[in-house]
Protein backbone atom coordinates (compact mmCIF):
# COMPACT_ATOMS: atom_id res chain seq x y z
CA UNK A 1 0.00 0.00 0.00
CA UNK A 2 1.12 3.57 -0.52
CA UNK A 3 1.43 6.16 2.22
CA UNK A 4 -0.44 8.76 0.17
CA UNK A 5 -3.43 6.49 -0.38
CA UNK A 6 -3.64 5.67 3.31
CA UNK A 7 -3.54 9.40 4.09
CA UNK A 8 -6.38 10.04 1.64
CA UNK A 9 -8.61 7.48 3.36
CA UNK A 10 -7.70 8.90 6.77
CA UNK A 11 -9.04 12.32 5.75
CA UNK A 12 -12.59 11.01 6.08
CA UNK A 13 -12.02 10.59 9.81
CA UNK A 14 -11.15 14.29 10.20
CA UNK A 15 -14.37 15.91 9.00
CA UNK A 16 -15.17 17.57 5.67
CA UNK A 17 -12.32 18.47 3.33
CA UNK A 18 -11.73 19.81 -0.17
CA UNK A 19 -9.62 18.27 -2.90
CA UNK A 20 -8.05 21.36 -4.45
CA UNK A 21 -7.75 21.41 -8.21
CA UNK A 22 -4.23 21.59 -9.62
CA UNK A 23 -3.62 21.68 -13.36
CA UNK A 24 0.16 21.26 -13.22
CA UNK A 25 3.03 20.59 -10.81
CA UNK A 26 3.35 24.27 -9.91
CA UNK A 27 -0.29 24.71 -8.89
CA UNK A 28 -0.08 21.45 -6.92
CA UNK A 29 2.91 22.86 -5.05
CA UNK A 30 1.04 26.12 -4.40
CA UNK A 31 -2.00 24.20 -3.14
CA UNK A 32 0.11 22.23 -0.68
CA UNK A 33 1.76 25.39 0.64
CA UNK A 34 -1.68 26.99 1.04
CA UNK A 35 -2.82 24.12 3.28
CA UNK A 36 -4.73 21.83 0.94
CA UNK A 37 -5.12 18.25 2.18
CA UNK A 38 -5.50 16.57 -1.22
CA UNK A 39 -5.15 17.46 -4.89
CA UNK A 40 -7.75 16.91 -7.61
CA UNK A 41 -6.66 16.44 -11.23
CA UNK A 42 -9.56 17.37 -13.49
CA UNK A 43 -10.02 16.01 -16.98
CA UNK A 44 -11.59 19.35 -17.94
CA UNK A 45 -8.47 21.20 -16.78
CA UNK A 46 -6.13 18.64 -18.30
CA UNK A 47 -7.80 18.99 -21.70
CA UNK A 48 -7.39 22.76 -21.54
CA UNK A 49 -3.81 22.74 -20.24
CA UNK A 50 -2.42 19.90 -22.35
CA UNK A 51 -4.33 20.43 -25.57
CA UNK A 52 -6.02 23.84 -25.29
CA UNK A 53 -9.25 21.98 -26.03
CA UNK A 54 -12.65 21.36 -24.42
CA UNK A 55 -13.41 18.36 -22.22
CA UNK A 56 -14.89 16.10 -24.87
CA UNK A 57 -12.55 13.11 -24.54
CA UNK A 58 -9.83 14.78 -26.60
CA UNK A 59 -6.93 13.55 -24.45
CA UNK A 60 -5.66 10.01 -24.85
CA UNK A 61 -5.19 7.84 -21.79
CA UNK A 62 -1.42 8.10 -22.19
CA UNK A 63 -1.60 11.90 -22.24
CA UNK A 64 -3.66 11.91 -19.02
CA UNK A 65 -1.27 9.41 -17.43
CA UNK A 66 1.68 11.67 -18.26
CA UNK A 67 -0.24 14.66 -16.88
CA UNK A 68 -0.89 12.88 -13.57
CA UNK A 69 2.79 11.95 -13.33
CA UNK A 70 3.84 15.57 -13.78
CA UNK A 71 1.42 16.82 -11.12
CA UNK A 72 2.60 14.04 -8.78
CA UNK A 73 6.14 15.45 -8.94
CA UNK A 74 5.00 18.81 -7.58
CA UNK A 75 3.45 17.70 -4.29
CA UNK A 76 3.52 15.17 -1.47
CA UNK A 77 -0.27 15.30 -1.13
CA UNK A 78 -2.63 12.48 -2.20
CA UNK A 79 -3.88 12.84 -5.78
CA UNK A 80 -7.50 12.24 -6.79
CA UNK A 81 -7.48 11.87 -10.58
CA UNK A 82 -10.30 11.93 -13.12
CA UNK A 83 -10.47 8.66 -15.08
CA UNK A 84 -13.34 9.67 -17.39
CA UNK A 85 -15.06 6.52 -18.71
CA UNK A 86 -12.01 4.30 -18.33
CA UNK A 87 -11.11 5.09 -21.95
CA UNK A 88 -13.06 2.26 -23.55
CA UNK A 89 -14.36 -1.20 -22.73
CA UNK A 90 -13.71 -3.33 -19.64
CA UNK A 91 -10.17 -4.23 -20.69
CA UNK A 92 -9.40 -0.55 -21.27
CA UNK A 93 -10.86 0.34 -17.87
CA UNK A 94 -8.66 -2.25 -16.17
CA UNK A 95 -5.61 -0.82 -17.92
CA UNK A 96 -6.64 2.66 -16.72
CA UNK A 97 -6.81 1.39 -13.14
CA UNK A 98 -3.29 0.00 -13.44
CA UNK A 99 -1.90 3.14 -15.08
CA UNK A 100 -3.46 5.57 -12.58
CA UNK A 101 -1.91 3.63 -9.71
CA UNK A 102 1.44 3.60 -11.49
CA UNK A 103 1.19 7.35 -12.18
CA UNK A 104 0.92 8.04 -8.45
CA UNK A 105 -2.80 8.66 -7.96
CA UNK A 106 -4.41 7.68 -4.66
CA UNK A 107 -8.01 7.90 -5.89
CA UNK A 108 -9.97 8.09 -9.11
CA UNK A 109 -13.53 8.51 -10.27
CA UNK A 110 -15.07 6.56 -13.13
CA UNK A 111 -18.17 7.90 -14.86
CA UNK A 112 -21.05 6.14 -16.58
CA UNK A 113 -21.08 8.18 -19.78
CA UNK A 114 -20.75 6.76 -23.25
CA UNK A 115 -17.69 7.69 -25.29
CA UNK A 116 -16.89 10.28 -26.41
CA UNK A 117 -17.70 11.74 -23.01
CA UNK A 118 -18.51 15.36 -22.20
CA UNK A 119 -17.94 17.62 -19.23
CA UNK A 120 -20.53 16.75 -16.60
CA UNK A 121 -22.10 20.22 -16.83
CA UNK A 122 -22.36 20.18 -20.66
CA UNK A 123 -25.58 19.19 -22.50
CA UNK A 124 -25.90 16.17 -24.75
CA UNK A 125 -24.46 13.49 -22.47
CA UNK A 126 -25.32 9.84 -23.09
CA UNK A 127 -25.05 7.02 -20.56
CA UNK A 128 -23.94 3.41 -20.63
CA UNK A 129 -26.20 0.88 -18.97
CA UNK A 130 -25.84 0.36 -15.21
CA UNK A 131 -24.81 -3.22 -15.95
CA UNK A 132 -21.88 -2.08 -18.11
CA UNK A 133 -20.73 0.37 -15.45
CA UNK A 134 -20.98 -2.30 -12.74
CA UNK A 135 -18.89 -4.68 -14.84
CA UNK A 136 -16.20 -2.00 -15.23
CA UNK A 137 -16.19 -1.24 -11.51
CA UNK A 138 -15.84 -4.89 -10.55
CA UNK A 139 -13.04 -5.49 -13.07
CA UNK A 140 -11.13 -2.38 -12.05
CA UNK A 141 -11.37 -3.19 -8.35
CA UNK A 142 -10.15 -6.73 -9.03
CA UNK A 143 -7.12 -5.22 -10.78
CA UNK A 144 -6.36 -2.76 -7.96
CA UNK A 145 -2.98 -3.49 -6.35
CA UNK A 146 -3.11 -1.03 -3.46
CA UNK A 147 -6.04 -1.87 -1.14
CA UNK A 148 -6.01 1.75 0.10
CA UNK A 149 -6.52 3.17 -3.38
CA UNK A 150 -9.92 4.92 -3.22
CA UNK A 151 -12.38 4.16 -6.02
CA UNK A 152 -15.25 6.60 -6.65
CA UNK A 153 -18.15 5.70 -8.94
CA UNK A 154 -19.72 8.70 -10.65
CA UNK A 155 -23.06 8.95 -12.40
CA UNK A 156 -24.08 11.65 -14.86
CA UNK A 157 -27.68 10.50 -14.83
CA UNK A 158 -29.25 13.56 -13.16
CA UNK A 159 -29.19 15.60 -16.38
CA UNK A 160 -30.01 12.64 -18.64
CA UNK A 161 -32.52 10.32 -16.98
CA UNK A 162 -33.26 12.12 -13.71
CA UNK A 163 -32.43 12.04 -10.03
CA UNK A 164 -34.14 8.76 -9.22
CA UNK A 165 -32.16 6.92 -11.87
CA UNK A 166 -28.99 8.55 -10.53
CA UNK A 167 -29.81 7.21 -7.06
CA UNK A 168 -30.59 3.76 -8.42
CA UNK A 169 -27.31 3.69 -10.32
CA UNK A 170 -25.27 4.76 -7.30
CA UNK A 171 -26.92 2.02 -5.24
CA UNK A 172 -25.81 -0.52 -7.84
CA UNK A 173 -22.30 0.94 -7.96
CA UNK A 174 -22.04 0.76 -4.18
CA UNK A 175 -23.10 -2.90 -4.30
CA UNK A 176 -20.36 -3.49 -6.89
CA UNK A 177 -17.78 -2.34 -4.34
CA UNK A 178 -17.11 1.33 -5.06
CA UNK A 179 -15.52 3.07 -2.06
CA UNK A 180 -17.21 6.42 -2.69
CA UNK A 181 -20.15 7.78 -4.70
CA UNK A 182 -20.59 10.90 -6.83
CA UNK A 183 -23.61 12.22 -8.72
CA UNK A 184 -22.39 15.07 -10.86
CA UNK A 185 -24.29 18.30 -11.49
CA UNK A 186 -27.21 18.31 -9.03
CA UNK A 187 -29.22 21.39 -9.91
CA UNK A 188 -30.68 22.48 -6.56
CA UNK A 189 -30.30 22.17 -2.82
CA UNK A 190 -33.50 20.10 -2.83
CA UNK A 191 -31.91 17.59 -5.23
CA UNK A 192 -28.80 17.47 -3.05
CA UNK A 193 -30.89 16.78 0.05
CA UNK A 194 -32.82 14.00 -1.65
CA UNK A 195 -29.63 12.49 -3.01
CA UNK A 196 -27.88 12.53 0.36
CA UNK A 197 -30.88 11.08 2.20
CA UNK A 198 -30.98 8.15 -0.22
CA UNK A 199 -27.24 7.52 -0.38
CA UNK A 200 -26.05 8.08 3.20
CA UNK A 201 -27.50 4.75 4.48
CA UNK A 202 -25.13 2.96 2.07
CA UNK A 203 -22.19 4.07 4.22
CA UNK A 204 -20.15 5.39 1.30
CA UNK A 205 -18.62 8.91 1.33
CA UNK A 206 -20.57 11.24 -0.94
CA UNK A 207 -18.76 13.81 -3.09
CA UNK A 208 -19.87 17.33 -4.09
CA UNK A 209 -18.38 19.31 -6.97
CA UNK A 210 -18.02 22.96 -5.88
CA UNK A 211 -17.34 24.27 -9.41
CA UNK A 212 -19.14 27.61 -9.51
CA UNK A 213 -19.29 27.66 -13.30
CA UNK A 214 -21.66 24.72 -13.66
CA UNK A 215 -25.27 23.82 -12.87
CA UNK A 216 -24.96 23.15 -9.14
CA UNK A 217 -25.63 25.54 -6.25
CA UNK A 218 -22.66 27.56 -5.01
CA UNK A 219 -22.04 26.29 -1.48
CA UNK A 220 -19.28 26.37 1.09
CA UNK A 221 -17.64 23.14 2.21
CA UNK A 222 -19.51 23.31 5.52
CA UNK A 223 -22.85 23.94 3.81
CA UNK A 224 -22.35 20.90 1.58
CA UNK A 225 -21.36 18.85 4.63
CA UNK A 226 -24.54 19.87 6.45
CA UNK A 227 -26.52 18.60 3.46
CA UNK A 228 -24.81 15.20 3.76
CA UNK A 229 -21.78 15.47 1.48
CA UNK A 230 -18.54 14.25 3.06
CA UNK A 231 -15.98 16.04 0.88
CA UNK A 232 -15.75 18.38 -2.08
CA UNK A 233 -13.87 19.18 -5.24
CA UNK A 234 -12.66 22.67 -6.13
CA UNK A 235 -11.71 21.41 -9.58
CA UNK A 236 -11.06 24.19 -12.10
CA UNK A 237 -11.01 27.44 -10.15
CA UNK A 238 -7.19 27.66 -10.04
CA UNK A 239 -7.04 27.25 -13.81
CA UNK A 240 -9.76 29.86 -14.35
CA UNK A 241 -7.88 32.25 -12.05
CA UNK A 242 -4.67 31.71 -14.00
CA UNK A 243 -6.51 32.27 -17.27
CA UNK A 244 -7.84 35.63 -16.09
CA UNK A 245 -4.63 36.79 -14.41
CA UNK A 246 -2.33 35.87 -17.29
CA UNK A 247 -4.79 37.24 -19.84
CA UNK A 248 -4.96 40.56 -18.00
CA UNK A 249 -1.17 40.67 -17.74
CA UNK A 250 -0.60 39.97 -21.43
CA UNK A 251 -3.18 42.52 -22.57
CA UNK A 252 -1.62 45.16 -20.29
CA UNK A 253 1.85 44.36 -21.57
CA UNK A 254 0.84 44.42 -25.24
CA UNK A 255 -0.90 47.76 -24.75
CA UNK A 256 2.31 49.26 -23.28
CA UNK A 257 5.22 46.85 -23.87
CA UNK A 258 7.29 47.18 -20.72
CA UNK A 259 7.72 44.90 -17.72
CA UNK A 260 7.10 47.96 -15.57
CA UNK A 261 3.50 47.82 -16.77
CA UNK A 262 2.98 44.39 -15.23
CA UNK A 263 5.45 44.32 -12.33
CA UNK A 264 2.85 44.83 -9.58
CA UNK A 265 1.08 41.58 -10.47
CA UNK A 266 4.20 39.41 -10.51
CA UNK A 267 5.93 37.35 -7.84
CA UNK A 268 9.50 38.59 -7.35
CA UNK A 269 12.04 36.41 -9.14
CA UNK A 270 14.05 35.59 -5.99
CA UNK A 271 10.84 34.77 -4.11
CA UNK A 272 9.76 32.37 -6.85
CA UNK A 273 13.16 30.70 -6.84
CA UNK A 274 12.85 30.10 -3.11
CA UNK A 275 9.39 28.62 -3.64
CA UNK A 276 10.67 26.02 -6.11
CA UNK A 277 13.68 25.25 -3.92
CA UNK A 278 16.49 27.30 -5.43
CA UNK A 279 18.13 29.92 -3.23
CA UNK A 280 19.71 32.69 -5.30
CA UNK A 281 20.92 36.24 -4.89
CA UNK A 282 19.86 37.23 -8.40
- Looking at the chain, the whole-number percentage of residues with pLDDT higher than 90 is 89
Q: How far apart (Å, rounded) are the C-alpha atoms in residues 105 and 244?
A: 29
pLDDT (tens digit per residue) in 3-16: 999 999 999 999 99
pLDDT at 119: 58
Answer whether residue 181 shows pLDDT above 60.
Answer: yes
CA distance 109 to 34: 25
Please report, to the nearest 10 degrees, the dihedral formed by the alpha carbons of residues 72, 24, 27, 224 taken in order.
Answer: -80
Determine if the peptide bond prior to 116 is cis (ω within 30°): yes
Q: Give residue-wise pLDDT tens across range 132-160.
A: 999 999 999 999 999 999 999 999 999 99
Task: Give the separation between CA 231 and CA 183, rounded to whole angstroms.
Answer: 13
Give φ, ψ of 38 to 5 degrees: -155, 160
Coil, helix or strand at residue 211 = coil
As beta bridge partners, residue 40 has 21, 80
Strand 206-209 versus strand 17-21 pairing type: unpaired
pTM (global) more than 0.75: yes
Per-residue pLDDT tens digits for 56-77? 888 999 999 999 999 999 999 9
Domain ranges of the chain: 3-235, 239-282
Statement: residue 282 has pLDDT above 60: no
CA–CA gap between residue 16 and residue 13 (Å, rounded):
9
How far is 223 from 186, CA to CA, in rounded Å?
Answer: 15
How many angstroms separate the CA atoms of 64 and 96, rounded? 10
Q: Which CATH superfamily is domain 3-235 in?
A: Phosphoenolpyruvate-binding domains (3.20.20.60)
pLDDT digits (tens, 9 = 90+) for 194-222: 999 999 999 999 999 999 877 899 999 99
Contact 208, 180 (CB under 8 A): no
d(CA 229, CA 195): 10
pLDDT (mean) for 155-184: 97
Amino acid sequence: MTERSARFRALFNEGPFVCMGAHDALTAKIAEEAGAKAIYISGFAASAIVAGAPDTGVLTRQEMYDHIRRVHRGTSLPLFADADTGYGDIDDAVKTMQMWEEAGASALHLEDQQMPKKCGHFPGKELVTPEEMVAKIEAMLAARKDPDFFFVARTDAIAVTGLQDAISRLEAYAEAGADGLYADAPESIEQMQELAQAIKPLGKPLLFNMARSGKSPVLTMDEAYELGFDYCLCPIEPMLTVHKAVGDMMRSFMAAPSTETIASGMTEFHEFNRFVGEETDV
